[in-house]
Chain A
């Protein structure tokens, strides 16, 4: 039986520098993996590789036994929240949400209104994102967690610029996602608030 999501002997080079070497993990439905490491240790690069965007220099990443490059199932199961929010500054949170919901294959039934209420953005839902605060932009980006039924969440610093209530909300969503047999890989320095999120952690930056 293949693990649902796994990496084996992963090595990455970026800008002439080795970021990691011989990195392996395997993740089953309902499990979460936290990537830790100092700034510049390659957490974002690794997440991009796991999303199928970044270049793999050594080793391999598999989804349900299949290499992720060219795996339609991996792509369809994936929700990648990058460091950059991916919000268009001239569109409102509502328009951004609807756009992202319309370009995925497995959109959820949660409407923009419901998601924005949940994230406390309903009052600013029709204001262009350029006029929102950093925290509000992050919330608008995180609202996409509700837009799809993706099984695999890759989250790059999801708690950046969020207030305590926002962090609680993300923790609740993570918990619910794991309960529904979702998989999560997240890169974060901050400890997640609340208990009951079974996190394994992977330390980066040990390579010389």
Chain B
């Protein structure tokens, strides 16, 4: 609890950094209709892919620093010595980070969908797929952040580590949104998206805690 409070307070003190992913998300999706011919049928067919790719990249943008500042100022050592298991700490920190950076993307997504002529009736499914997806991507990104925490130039390595893992989330997420737009039943893709989230929730904390412990060891 104290950790959640601290992270939210820190996030609030660094509002500028916090807004970067949301700004990036808005800019990328908003530029597509300008760069392409603004035909509603074309925009509608690319909308799920564009919004999903923008959300994925926006998520990666803020993730690298997830553990880095704590590693550098010595707070991570202190947290490692606290009685709360590292796995639980990892989960709470990912969740707070998602609240601060992932949730805004989910909230913005209907607006971005509208910009790309995405059908209003399917907007609920679209936002829901992003809700499941951004949570999964946060978990995956945190693994990458934990693995590269003690590297000076981890910024390059992290996307390479994370992207292959993120591809299934992107495929099923964009598919659910596309199916909903065509009026088909998106349940199958959503179930798979949910399954990926559950898989991430159950395995990522252990991977993150392990990676952080190893990086503290030397």
A-B complex is real = yes
Residues of A in contact with B (beta carbons under 8 Å apart): 14-15, 48, 51-55, 72, 75-76, 78, 80, 82-91, 95, 99-100, 102-105, 128
Task: Determine whether the beta carbon of A103 is less than 8 Å from that of B84.
Answer: yes
Task: Determine whether the beta carbon of B72 is less than 8 Å from that of A103.
Answer: no
Out of B13, B77, B83, B216, which one reaches A75, CB within 8 Å? B83
Task: Determine whether the beta carbon of B73 is less than 8 Å from that of A84.
Answer: yes
Task: Determine whether the beta carbon of A104 is less than 8 Å from that of B77.
Answer: no
Residues of B in contact with A (beta carbons under 8 Å apart): 1-3, 6, 9-10, 13-14, 69, 72-75, 77-84, 216-218
Task: Determine whether the beta carbon of A88 is less than 8 Å from that of B73.
Answer: yes
Determine which residue in B1, B14, B77 has the highest number of CB atoms from chain A within 10 A of its CB, and name it.
B77
Task: Determine whether the beta carbon of A78 is less than 8 Å from that of B77.
Answer: no
Task: Determine whether the beta carbon of B74 is less than 8 Å from that of A84.
Answer: yes
Given A53-B217, A54-B217, A55-B217; A88-B6 close (CB under 8 Å): yes
Given A84-B74, A88-B10; A78-B217 close (CB under 8 Å): no
Out of A53, A86, A128, which one reaches B13, CB within 8 Å? A128
Task: Determine whether the beta carbon of B77 is less than 8 Å from that of A80.
Answer: yes
Q: Considering the chains assembled together, what is the distance between the CA atoms of A87 and B73 in angstroms?
A: 7
Q: Considering the chains assembled together, what is the distance between the CA atoms of A195 and B9 in angstroms?
A: 43
Least CB distance, A141 to chain B, in whole angstroms: 9
Q: List 19 A-B contacts (CB under 8 A).
A: A51-B77, A51-B81, A53-B217, A78-B81, A82-B74, A84-B74, A85-B73, A86-B74, A86-B75, A88-B69, A89-B73, A90-B10, A91-B6, A91-B13, A95-B6, A99-B2, A102-B1, A103-B83, A104-B82
| Residues of A contacting B: mostly | loop
Task: Determine whether the beta carbon of B74 is less than 8 Å from that of A103.
Answer: no
Least CB distance, A134 to chain B, in whole angstroms: 13
Q: Considering the chains assembled together, what is the distance between the CA atoms of A80 and B76 in angstroms?
A: 12
Nearest-neighbor residue (CB-CB) of B217 within chain A: A55
Out of A48, A72, A86, A102, which one reaches B78, CB within 8 Å? A86
| Residues of B contacting A: mostly | helix
Which 4 pairs from chain A and chain B are nearest by CB? A84-B74, A86-B74, A102-B2, A90-B13
Least CB distance, B217 to chain A, in whole angstroms: 4
Given A88-B6, A99-B6; A82-B77 close (CB under 8 Å): yes
Nearest-neighbor residue (CB-CB) of A84 within chain B: B74
Task: Determine whether the beta carbon of B82 is less than 8 Å from that of A103.
Answer: yes
On chain B, the residues within 8 Å of A80 by CB distance are 77-78, 81
Q: Considering the chains assembled together, what is the distance between the CA atoms of A90 and B65 in angstroms?
A: 15
Task: Determine whether the beta carbon of A91 is less than 8 Å from that of B73.
Answer: no
Given A53-B77, A91-B6, A91-B10; A84-B216 close (CB under 8 Å): no
Task: Determine whether the beta carbon of A53 is less than 8 Å from that of B72.
Answer: no
Q: Considering the chains assembled together, what is the distance between the CA atoms of A87 and B10 in angstroms?
A: 12
On chain B, the residues within 8 Å of A85 by CB distance are 73-74
Least CB distance, A132 to chain B, in whole angstroms: 13
Q: Considering the chains assembled together, what is the distance between the CA atoms of A91 and B82 in angstroms?
A: 19
Q: Considering the chains assembled together, what is the distance between the CA atoms of A82 and B10 in angstroms?
A: 22
Task: Determine whether the beta carbon of B83 is less than 8 Å from that of A76.
Answer: yes
Given A53-B80, A55-B218, A102-B2; A95-B9 close (CB under 8 Å): yes
Q: Considering the chains assembled together, what is the distance between the CA atoms of A84 and B150 in angstroms?
A: 15
Nearest-neighbor residue (CB-CB) of A102 within chain B: B2
Q: Considering the chains assembled together, what is the distance between the CA atoms of A103 and B7 in angstroms?
A: 13
On chain A, the residues within 8 Å of B1 by CB distance are 102
On chain B, the residues within 8 Å of A104 by CB distance are 82-83
Least CB distance, A149 to chain B, in whole angstroms: 14
On chain A, the residues within 8 Å of B80 by CB distance are 53
Out of B3, B9, B78, B83, which one reaches A91, CB within 8 Å? B9
Task: Determine whether the beta carbon of A52 is less than 8 Å from that of B77.
Answer: no
Q: Considering the chains assembled together, what is the distance between the CA atoms of A94 and B14 in angstroms?
A: 18
Task: Determine whether the beta carbon of A52 is less than 8 Å from that of B217.
Answer: no
On chain B, the residues within 8 Å of A100 by CB distance are 78
Other 7 A-B pairs with CB < 8 A, given A51-B81, A84-B73, A85-B74: A15-B218, A75-B81, A80-B78, A88-B75, A100-B78, A103-B3, A103-B82
